[in-house]
Structure 1
Amino acid sequence: MKSSIRIDKRDLILAKGAQVMTRRGYHGTGVQEIVQAAGIPKGSFYHYFASKEDFALQALEFTYQPRLQRYAEALANPALSPRARILGYYRELLQHFSQQERLEYHCFIGSLSFEMNELLPAIGQQVEAILQESALILQRCLEQAQAAGELPAEEDCANLAAFIANAWQGVLTRLKVGSQTRPVEEFVKRLEQLLAA
């Protein structure tokens, strides 16, 4: 029982602290802001994390491993063709953003990568590893689309996956600074053309 309480408290700190750090940035967030958001004493933070950098690294893992898992599951759905899996995933994201009364998107990975890549290389390396894993998931699905005849035989699936993944990161950046779904709409429209059967 004690270990599950420990895990729950660590997860609470990671979830609440990541929200604060996403909005305020790495430098704009102190340990005090993290523990206040989590509603815990400051000493508890250092029970789970060696430093703020250690917290940020663990928060990236905590935030993005479930997302990568959902992405992998969506792009491996045997009920749909590979092309339909990819387009369906991004169309659902467009619908999600379109339904928000006030579009407000803050990307944790974007916030950390812009701010910390040069100052704390470990954070930059972890961000890059997450982005590479995401592109690899997409590449596998594109290769299945190619095998199914949904993409030309000469298509470079690794390059196409990298292009789509990089374009999506650009969309997320636009959402962070803007308040319209137009970048997502444009992305989905172009993706449909890229993957035209």
Structure 2
Amino acid sequence: MNTHADTSDVRDNILATGQRLMAGKGYSAVGLNEILTAAGVPKGSFYHYFGSKDAFGEALLDSYFEDYLAEIDVTLALPGLSMAQRVLRYFEVWQQTQSFFDCQGKCLAVKMAAEVADLSEAMRLSIRRGTSGIVSRLAAAIEAGVAEGSLAVSGDATTTARSLYQLWLGASIMVKIERDVAPFATAMQSTRDMLHLSPA
């Protein structure tokens, strides 16, 4: 019997369940009992892995960003595409996964960022680490795109990457407010403008 694997499975199940629930409702609206009931585990199991709800939130965000950054790495290394096409693909995937009806845990950072930044310093720092990882990857991709000639930027790559991330984060919030995906179309056009790409 592989006890380590079983232990890891229980922890991962709690995290996955919490991610799905909190992506839909937010951090504060989801209680531990709801997570544990949905995950089918007793409360003692939760405290075996996490010392508190905030510790769980930090672990949840760390796990989310680890997976998210791995997905970005795959997207930005897709074969047969220019770096400009890869960057646009990243934002196309962003648009597809940031549904205002049911994001299935894909929009956890968008859902929780503003809420938990003032609730927990540990969770704020987790989000900061994660978003910094996103920006650094985008910056490297933009630099590579400039070098290969598939895109161009007016300023430096890091500033452009940060501006793009902030643009899409804001668009995601507006999509939820308006219950319409039009802000994504605006964000995509602005992205093309910033990267000096022709219209689609």
- Give TM class, smaller chain: 0.7 to 0.9
Equivalence for 1:17: 18
After superposition, the Cα gap between the structure-2 partners of 1:104 and 1:179, relative to the gap in structure 1 and judged at 3 Å, is farther
Give structure 2 stretches of 5+ with no counterpart: none
Match of 2:168 in 1: 168
Deviation at 1:16, TM superposition (A): 0.6
Corresponding residue for 1:39?
40
CA distance in 1, matches of 2:58, 2:191: 32
TM-score of the superposed pair, with normalisation by structure 2: 0.86
Q: Distance in 2 between matches of 1:92 and 1:112?
A: 20
TM superposition shift of 1:153: 7.5
SS state of the match for residue 110, structure 1?
helix
1:127 is the counterpart of 2:159: no
Tell me, yes or no, if the aligned pair for 1:26 and 1:116 is still in contact at 8 Å.
yes
C-alpha separation between the residues in 2 aligned to 1:8 and 1:145? 40
Report the counterpart of residue 59 of structure 1 in structure 2.
60
Compute the displacement of 1:26 (Å): 2.4
CA contact (8 A) 1:112 1:123 kept: no
Q: TM-score, normalised by structure 1?
A: 0.88
Per the alignment, do residues 29 and 72 of structure 1 end up closer, same or farther by CA in structure 2, a change over 3 Å counting? same
Alignment match, 1:181 = 181
Hey, what's the Cα distance between the residues in 2 that align with 1:97 and 1:154? 29
| Root mean square deviation, CA, Å | 2.2
Identical columns (%):
28
**Counterpart Cα distance in 1 of 2:153 and 2:161:** 15
Measured after TM superposition, the shift of residue 85 of structure 1 is 0.7
The size of the alignment, in residue pairs, is 194
User: Where do residues 67-106 of structure 1 align in structure 2 (5 Å cutoff)?
Assistant: 67-94=68-95, 96=96, 103-105=101-103
C-alpha spacing 1:79/1:48, structure 2 compared with 1 (3 Å): same
57-66 vs 157-166, greater mean Cα deviation: 57-66
Kindly indicate whether residue 143 of structure 2 is the aligned counterpart of residue 143 of structure 1. Answer: yes
CA displacement 1:140-186 (0-9 Å, x = unmatched): 00000111123447631111000001111112212333322211122
1:125 shift after superposition: 1.0
Match of 2:51 in 1: 50
Aligned to 1:110: 110
